[in-house]
Structure formats: structure tokens, C-alpha cells
Amino acid sequence: MARYPKLFEAGRIGTMELKNRLVMAPMGSHAWDAEGNITDRMIDYYVERAKGGVGFIITCSSSILPESRADRVANYDDKFIPGLSRMARAIQEHGAKAAMQVVHHGRLLSYLRQQVLRPEEIDVVGASPVPNTSDGMAPREASQGDIAHIVQGYAEAARRIKDAGYDAVEIHGGHGYLITQFLSPLTNKRSDGYGGTVEKRARFACEVISAVRGKVGARFPVSFRLSGSDFLPAGITIEDTVRQAPMFVEARADALHISASARESTPWQFACYLFPDGLIVHLAEAIKKVVRVPVITVGKINDPGLAERILQEGKADFIAMGRALLADPYLPNKAREGQVDEIQRCIYCNNCLILEGKPPVDMPKGRRCTVNPSLCREKEFALKPTGKAKRVMVIGGGLAGMEAARTAAQRGHQVSLYEKDDDFGGQWKIASQQDSKEIYATLTASLQRGLDKAGVRVYLKTEVTPEFVVKESPDAVVVATGATPRRLDVPGADGKNVVQASDVIANKAAVGGSVVVVGGRAVGMETALALAKRGKKVSLVTMYRLGENGAQQGSEFQAGGGGHSRRMERNIFLRLRDELIEYGVRVYPDSPVREITENGVYVVSDRELMFLKADTVVLAVGACPQNRLAEELKGKVPELYAIGDCREPRDARAATSEGAEVGRQV
């Protein structure tokens, strides 16, 4: 605590006393049911974060009107109050204060309505009839009657939150939702009292805040979340927001929660590993200078030291963390107790944003995390001691093998881990060497510490054969032998000028001045960008659309499961795409390779053969599972499990998840 005195200092928002300055940002679990009801899984998710020591939890946003509901918690009828209340009490019982957001999605409902039951009931209304960039659909412009109805909807939803026993309410006025659509000159083309000037564009937000205040009373804390900037040309700027912020306070907001982005600029909201830490703190700092209420900052802050500096320098009053608390719900307690090295760091891979299932028919059961396999499965993933200790052999020291070994040993099994290389990590070790991915190495280090603490016997530089396994006679064998880079089945693919992206990343392969990178998903895009930054002339070719996986297997950011046209996480894709443009990388989608020669590549583009000159051709076309050992061990050991990429090349999230599941199953 002495190390972070400001972070663990008590704070106040309105009448609400908080035990520290750490806030859980409102990141939805996606664990509600198809009607938007609170589930036990949701409660478990928030309870774990409350136990972890955070002072204030702002839960996910909730739909305020039946005709504006989206894939969110439902809060448009009093019948939902008992469920909301159950979650509030569970959070409070473990020492944290609780708030819930209220939101109207506005024009975004044109495509979000497909995610809910009875989509025909949804009324798509916006500040102005400006089409969505996602689907080209324009909302109808909100009339004065619509505005009054929606403002009342916000107020009634806030009243339900108060009635449910929450400590505060937060109005969501950012991220491209309806209030943002009024605030932004890009989406507000009105000429009445709600548009035209910076002040008039803030009128709707002020009316919402005032109506909420009138409904919940003077002493119930009201926070207003907004985008300090949407980082779009001719959009919301911090200069505009600085002028509007005092108006929101005058409307009686008790705190301002400063985020960033609109729908078209969400990479700033879900900043991945490609962005610097604390990338939007400057927005909160600017607003704090013009208001006298607490200001909450957010955005890629997972280091208690950084959080402390922000507070000490007076840039904000509270620190909100989202994904950092998904990765490690006990981050606050660990920081307070001086156990910073024990924190499981969020690596900002954005795999938690890739949701499983398709609502409303197959609702996702919750988010998943590469670093924390128990996310949204807190109760079912609670470690239970084994009834009978087994001798368990884990073969492979990548993410899947390390997680399986650690988990099995923590349960009481006698575990031995064998790795043929001289270090842990496998393909993840290579990924950690990429530009901007240094933080990836923290996951390997965390898993290795877990092996040591759990008492796993480790054997490096040891290649395991079926004969060795039979001789050792373990009770259970977990094979996690990973995958190797895939090669192209075209003429010239074995040429001296052809190298694998993994070798380029690991500095094991020389690259000439002109390069063709084959493969348009994460590894291909990242490698092309890294080479372009080094001054190479780079072309990127892919047989699918940029960012898609098609029928190939084994990309780092694959969404999991089977099927075709799997895409990278959207925000990572957009950031990489923009940087490829900035550094002049020429991209050729839908252009399969036909032949590689000693001085270039023949591809088919628009049904025509095209030649691209290149000194070096870099392959980033996926991976092949290394499952031979698993096949050879069938029928030779009592229990056999194959996990991770040796089962099917996928992403790191699948590897750690399978390792955790098998470690609990064995």
C-alpha cells in the first residue's frame, strides 16, 4: 500500500465513499440470457472482481427501452429489478460499490437488432438520418416527441437501478451510441435546438443527465461517460468536449468518465498491443482542468505504477481498468499487498472480444481470456483437489502444456513436464519477439512461475519418444507438441529465397530489399508491417480477403472452431490495416500464389496472372499440427489427451483454455 499511496487512498463520487481509486470499467460479460436477464454466471464474474479488491464496479450497460434493446442486460421494465438487485447485493457483499450503465444505441440498432429476439420490434432512431458505415442503413431522425420519450426512458432505467440497490448509475454517452450521435458533428446535422453549435449538440446529453438526477434524487451518485474524442476527421474533438464538460456538470453529473471512440474508431476504445499504455489519459487530463467533479480515466492501463503516476500527477481522480481485471481480478489486492510480480498481466491480444455463439439462438456463455481461462467460468473452474494423485506426464512446454501441467499439479497430481527446446513458450516465444508484443512474454513468465510454485518437475532439452513414455509408465499423458509453419504447395516454394515468417521474426532469416509476404492474417500483416518499418519495399498477397483465414488453419488470432472465412479481431485488423497503409505496403487480396521464382512471385489477381518482383518471399500461411506422438501413444497409456495446436492449430486463448480444462479433468 505504501508503494501506491494515491491508488489506495479513499475517494468520493458525490455522496459515495470508495475504499480506493480503482474502478472496474463497464465491460460486458455477455453472460446474460437471451431476454437480457441476469444469470448466475454474470454474478460469479462480478463477485470475483469484487473479491479481488477493486473499489468500484461499473457493470455492463443496460437497455432502457423495449424498442431500443440490444444484446445487453434488460432494464426497460420493473420486472427486471429482482435480477438486477441480486447482482448488486452480491458485489456489495464482497466490499465493492456497484453501479450500472444505462444506454440507448441509436442508429447502431440497425444492425444490432439482429442479435435480439423479436428484432421487428426495434425502432431505429438517431440524431439525424446519417447512414451507418457498417450496413448503410439510415435511422429516422428523432422528433421532439421521440427525444422526450427517450429522456424519460433514461430516467426510469436509472430509477430501477436505484431501486435495485445499486450505489450509483452511469449514463453512457460515448462510443458512438445515441448520446454521442447528438454530440458529434458527423452524426448530428440538426438545425433545431439540438444541433448546429457545440453547445446545442450537448443539449440532449444535458437533458438526460437532468432527468436522471430528477428521478434518482440529489444524493444518488450519477456518472456520465463520454468520448473525449472520437479520433475521426470532423468528429468529436477534445476542444469541443472541454467546452461541453462544464455543461454536463451543471446538469448535475457527479463524475465524468472519459473514454474515446465512435463505432468507426473502436481501436481507440479497445486498444490492443499496437497502442501505447495509457493512450487516452491526456483526454481526461484536459477535462479535469475545467470541472470540479471527479474525473475517471481509462484505456490500456494494467500497471499499478502507471495508475499511481496518473493520480500523483493530477491527470485524473480515479483509474478505470477493464481487460486488466479480466486477466487478473485480484490485481488490486496484489498491488496493495506488494505482490506486483504475481499479477497476471493483460497482454491486449483482444481475444476476449471474440465471442462464442451467435445470439439470440445460441447465446454466448461469456467472454474468454488468453491469460485467465476461468473468465466467466469462475465457479466451474474453481480448483478442486484430486481424490487420487496420479503420475501425469505433459509433453510440450508451450502455453497449452504449461497451463495443463500447472493446473494438474495444483490439484495434487505428480506432474512432469518435458520440452525438447532449452526454454518454454514454443511458438508463443517467437510471437513475443515481434514489434509491440513484448508484453506477450509476461504470460510465459507467469506460467513458468506457476510451474515452480506447483512443484512441477521440468525437463528441458528432452525429446520424448513413445518408448520413453511406455518405460516411464505414467497414469496419464498430455500431449501438447504444438505445430510447425505450413508451407505452400506451389512450384518454387522450396527456393532459397523463400523463408518462414517465424524465422524472420526470430532473426533467423535474412531478408532482401524487396519482399513479398504471403498470408493476409495477423502474422502476415504484422510481418509485412515490421519489414516496411525497416525500410523494405513490401507487398502482401493473400488468397482471401485481408484478415480472413478461409480454409487454412492455425492463425494466432483465429476465432476458434471450424468453418471458413474466420476473421481477425476487428480492432487489431483495423489498426494493422491503417499502419500498412501508412508505411506504404501494397496489398493484393483474393490473389492466390501460383508459382515462386528466384526473383519474385506469380499470383492470380482478377483472373489474370500477375508477377510481383521480390528478393525474398516470406510465408505466413498458417501451421500444421504436430500430432504424430499423440497418434503413436493411442492404446499405450491409461489416459491420453491431445491439446493445443497439436490437436488443431488455433489461437493462444484456445491453448490455455484446453490446458486448464485438461488439468482439471485428469
The answer to whether 141 and 127 are in contact (CB under 8 A) is yes
User: Up-side HSE of residue 408: CA atoms within 13 Å toward CB?
Assistant: 32
Both 21 and 117 in a single domain?
yes
State mean pLDDT over 568-578: 95
CATH number of domain containing 609: 3.50.50.60
Structure confidence at residue 564 (pLDDT): 33
Both 398 and 475 in a single domain?
yes
Q: What are phi and psi of 116, to 5 degrees?
A: -115, 160
294, 328, 353 - which closes a domain: 353
Both 638 and 604 in a single domain?
no
| 579-634 pLDDT per residue, tens | 999 999 999 999 999 999 999 999 999 999 999 999 999 999 999 999 999 999 99
Tell me the C-alpha distance between 114 and 214, whole Å: 34
Both 193 and 173 in a single domain?
yes
Dmax over Cα atoms in the chain, in whole Å?
A: 83
Both 564 and 642 in a single domain?
no
Tell me if 381 is assigned to some domain.
Answer: no
Helices marked H in 398-540 — which ranges? Answer: 399-410, 427-431, 441-454, 466-472, 501-505, 522-533
User: Up-side HSE of residue 248: CA atoms within 13 Å toward CB?
Assistant: 36
Mean pLDDT, the chain, integer: 94
State mean pLDDT over 229-238: 97
Structure confidence at residue 461 (pLDDT): 97
| 419-443 pLDDT per residue, tens | 999 999 999 999 999 989 999 999 9
For residue 244, give its domain range: 11-353
| 31-47 pLDDT per residue, tens | 999 999 999 999 999 99
> Whole-angstrom distance between the N-terminal and C-terminal Cα of the chain?
39
Percent of the chain with pLDDT over 70: 96
Both 22 and 160 in a single domain?
yes
User: Up-side HSE of residue 433: CA atoms within 13 Å toward CB?
Assistant: 15
Both 153 and 271 in a single domain?
yes
Whether 560 shows a pLDDT value over 50: the answer reads no
| 361-400 pLDDT per residue, tens | 665 678 999 999 999 999 989 999 999 999 999 999 999 9
Residue type, 536: K
Q: What are phi and psi of 329, to 5 degrees?
A: -65, -20
pLDDT band at 553 (very low <50, low <70, confident <90, very high): very low
pLDDT band at 28 (very low <50, low <70, confident <90, very high): confident
Tell me if 491 is assigned to some domain.
Answer: no
Whether 558 shows a pLDDT value over 80: the answer reads no
Tell me the C-alpha distance between 102 and 252, whole Å: 16
State mean pLDDT over 167-195: 98
Tell me if 487 is assigned to some domain.
Answer: no
pLDDT band at 137 (very low <50, low <70, confident <90, very high): very high
Structure confidence at residue 359 (pLDDT): 65
Q: What is the pTM of this model?
A: 0.94
For residue 51, give Cα distances in angstroms to 189, 270, 365, 370, 585.
Answer: 47, 25, 22, 21, 48
The answer to whether 432 and 446 are in contact (CB under 8 A) is no
Structure confidence at residue 562 (pLDDT): 30
Cross-strand bridge partners of residue 624: 484
Both 563 and 653 in a single domain?
no
Both 515 and 472 in a single domain?
no
Tell me if 149 is assigned to some domain.
Answer: yes
Structure confidence at residue 549 (pLDDT): 74
Both 238 and 298 in a single domain?
yes
Tell me if 242 is assigned to some domain.
Answer: yes
β-pairing, 476-479 vs 391-395, is: parallel
| 145-164 pLDDT per residue, tens | 999 999 999 999 999 999 99
State mean pLDDT over 335-343: 96
Both 632 and 532 in a single domain?
no
pLDDT band at 134 (very low <50, low <70, confident <90, very high): confident
Whether 188 shows a pLDDT value over 80: the answer reads yes
| 64-97 pLDDT per residue, tens | 999 999 999 999 999 999 999 999 999 999 999 9
| 511-520 pLDDT per residue, tens | 999 999 999 9
Taking each helix axis from N to C end, the angle separating 81-92 and 40-51, rounded to the nearest 10 degrees, works out to: 20
pLDDT band at 554 (very low <50, low <70, confident <90, very high): very low
Tell me if 82 is assigned to some domain.
Answer: yes
Percent of the chain with pLDDT over 90: 93
Active-site residue list: 177
Domains of the chain: total: 3
- Taken in order 498, 500, 501, 507, the sign of the CA dihedral is negative
Tell me if 76 is assigned to some domain.
Answer: yes
DSSP-based helix, strand, coil % in the chain, nearest 5: 35, 20, 45
| 434-473 pLDDT per residue, tens | 989 999 999 999 999 999 999 999 999 999 999 999 999 9
| 522-533 pLDDT per residue, tens | 999 999 999 999
Tell me if 360 is assigned to some domain.
Answer: no
Structure confidence at residue 23 (pLDDT): 98
Both 237 and 331 in a single domain?
yes
